[in-house]
Amino acid sequence: MAKYELKQKAIKLRLKGLSYNQIKSQIQVSKSSLSLWLKDYPLSEERLRALRDFSEIRIEKFRQTMLAKQEKRFTEAYNREKISHLPLSRKELFIAGLFLYWGEGMKGIKRSLGLYNTNPQIVKFGLFWYTKILGVPRKKIKVHLHLYSDMNIAEEINFWSNELNLPLSQIRRPYIKQTKKTSISYRGGFGHGTCGLLFSDVRLKIKILAAIKAVADYYESRI
């Protein structure tokens, strides 16, 4: 197609309200040529707004499509891993809880067993580990909460009581931090404060700490 014909086609498309990119998708011409040919054919403010809105809608649709693909990949991976690994054996559950305690538990031998976290699922796994794997009686477990001054304290106590299916009588008076939850910048955490599960048993505490040290010593020499 001759350059004159390309220019005339570009002008016709411009008069229909197409953007430079939309015109370029229909005729093979550089953007610099379009700028020269169409300098006397500006789009109206209304049309520019419509193009911007269309662009935002297109970007949002793309974002939603990518998000759906990510969720699909995650769901597929979740199902594969679930089939591959679950259910865990009793020994595997003991080791899993051991590593959780290594990261989140109270380490002093003379202190109570204490496992703290902000994530309700992690705390509930800790409760499962205490009761089902270590044999700790549910009624002997005490719940210790670290909350923030701008929280509704009664609501948070009830939240943890319901999540853990433990009576309010097993929840100690919470420690109230003077800082505010709204001042915490850590994304995704501290929504209901920190929850600790405590139980006094020196022999069991020694068993857990000894097992952790045995694992640490064994693999430290294999670096």
| 97-149: pLDDT as tens digits | 999 999 999 988 777 889 999 999 999 999 999 999 999 999 999 999 999 88
* Mean pLDDT, each 10-residue run in order, the chain (223 residues): 74 76 79 76 74 65 79 93 94 96 88 90 96 95 92 92 94 84 56 92 92 93 83
Rounded to 5 degrees, φ, ψ at 51 are -65, -40
Q: Do residues 29 and 10 make contact, with C-beta atoms less than 8 angstroms apart?
A: yes
Q: Which residue has the tokens 């064994």?
A: 218
Beta bridge partners of 204: none
Q: Do residues 150 and 178 make contact, with C-beta atoms less than 8 angstroms apart?
A: no
Domain co-membership, 33 together with 98: no
Which pTM does this prediction carry?
A: 0.68
149 domain-assigned = yes
Q: What pLDDT sits at residue 38? A: 74
Domain co-membership, 116 together with 200: yes
**DSSP characters for 116-143?**
EES-HHHHHHHHHIIIIIS---GGG-EE
Secondary structure class of 186 (helix, strand, coil):
coil
Domain co-membership, 37 together with 94: no
Q: How many domains does the chain have?
A: 2
Domain that holds residue 191: 90-220
Q: What pLDDT sits at residue 185? A: 47
Q: What pLDDT sits at residue 8? A: 80
